[in-house]
């Protein structure tokens, strides 16, 4: 690759047309024409690091820009006024035009901050009449980071980003598997604990309201309305029956409306006159025995 070979390119970010300046510009009458002119000026200025120059010595004026952009002179003059008001360009007293944002579109490299500072210094120096060596400035910038190096750096960055994303996905999958395993083990332990607790509940050792809420929360969120409903059911039916009804509800994966299901169970027990856990469990055992006596195909008892 030849060291003295020069490449000029403009790279816009995906949100270029979403910037405040471009939105305001394109909302004006003929705004899309002005945004087209702006892009053409950006491209024209690349060869001279953001300064609009016809050659190494002569800057563009409105008439010359009208010719190279294929627009009317009046349109170019109005566009320059608009660009100045939006802070997109700066026109010096000698007529030189600088595209102020051009350094943001050269590419993101480790020398970006240095390049922008050097560019602003160049404008300030020209305002003060300090002689500028264009060739030395271009060489200095390109020596640090040529477009070819930028492209290679961009490729390396993309490869690293892709590898990082793939690694992150694998780690996320592992975390999800670990969480799933933990939840399964925790759920089994919770069910075993609840089963032991149910066996220990007696008339003298009745579940508290908090016991019922804790059991309900193992599978369903407990909002203020849910809590009020459970409190009403606790006062009406007692802790033992409410706890038993909640246990049956959370053990059924097909239940869509847990509070309605719990209420239905309790009302059914009340209608049958089942007052204690012993009555409820005896009734369930009788029903299971009765069901086992029926053969498939015979009339069912319901």
CA separation for the pair 280, 171 (Å, rounded): 49
Higher-confidence residue of 123 and 39: namely: 39
**Helical (H) or strand (E) element with 232:** helix 224-237
CA separation for the pair 236, 229 (Å, rounded): 11
Structural contact between residues 77 and 59, judged by C-beta atoms closer than 8 angstroms: no
- The residue behind tokens 């933990």 is 182
Helices (H), 103-222: 112-127, 134-144, 147-200, 209-217
Does residue 78 carry a pLDDT above 90? Answer: yes
pLDDT grade, residue 149 (50/70/90)? low
What pLDDT does residue 113 have?
Answer: 60
Structural contact between residues 41 and 65, judged by C-beta atoms closer than 8 angstroms: yes
CA separation for the pair 8, 43 (Å, rounded): 9
DSSP assignment string, 83-107: HHHTTSEEE-TTS-EEETTGGGGS-
pLDDT digits (tens, 9 = 90+) for 216-250: 998 888 888 888 899 999 999 888 889 999 998 99
CA separation for the pair 74, 224 (Å, rounded): 70
Least confident of 120-124, 167-171, 212-216, 246-250: 120-124
């Amino acid at each position: 690759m030849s060291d003295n070979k020069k490449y000029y390119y403009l790279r816009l970010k995906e949100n270029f047309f979403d910037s405040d300046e471009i939105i305001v510009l394109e909302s004006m009458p003929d705004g899309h024409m002005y945004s087209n002119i702006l892009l053409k000026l950006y491209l024209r200025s690349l060869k001279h690091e953001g300064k609009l120059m016809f050659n190494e010595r002569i800057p563009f004026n409105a008439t010359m820009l009208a010719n190279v952009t294929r627009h009317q002179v009046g349109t170019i003059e109005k566009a320059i006024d608009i660009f100045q008001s939006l802070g997109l360009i700066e026109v010096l007293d000698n007529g030189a035009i600088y595209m102020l944002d051009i350094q943001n579109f050269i590419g993101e490299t480790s020398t970006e901050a240095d390049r922008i500072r050097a560019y602003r210094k160049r404008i300030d120096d020209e305002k003060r009449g300090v002689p500028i060596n264009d060739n030395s400035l271009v060489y200095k910038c390109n020596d640090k980071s040529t477009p070819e190096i930028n492209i290679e750096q961009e490729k390396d960055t993309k490869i690293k980003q892709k590898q990082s994303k793939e690694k992150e996905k694998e780690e996320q999958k592992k975390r999800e598997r670990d969480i799933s395993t933990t939840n399964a083990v925790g759920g089994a332990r919770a069910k075993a604990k609840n089963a032991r607790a149910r066996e220990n509940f007696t008339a003298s050792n009745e579940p508290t309201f908090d016991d019922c809420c804790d059991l309900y929360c193992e599978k369903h969120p407990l909002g203020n309305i849910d809590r009020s409903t459970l409190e009403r059911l606790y006062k009406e039916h007692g802790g033992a029956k409410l706890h038993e009804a909640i246990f049956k509800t959370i053990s059924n994966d097909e239940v869509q409306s847990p509070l309605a299901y719990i209420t239905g169970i309790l009302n059914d027990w009340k209608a049958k006159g089942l007052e204690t856990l012993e009555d409820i469990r005896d009734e369930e055992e009788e029903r299971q025995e009765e069901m086992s006596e029926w053969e498939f195909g015979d009339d069912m008892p319901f």
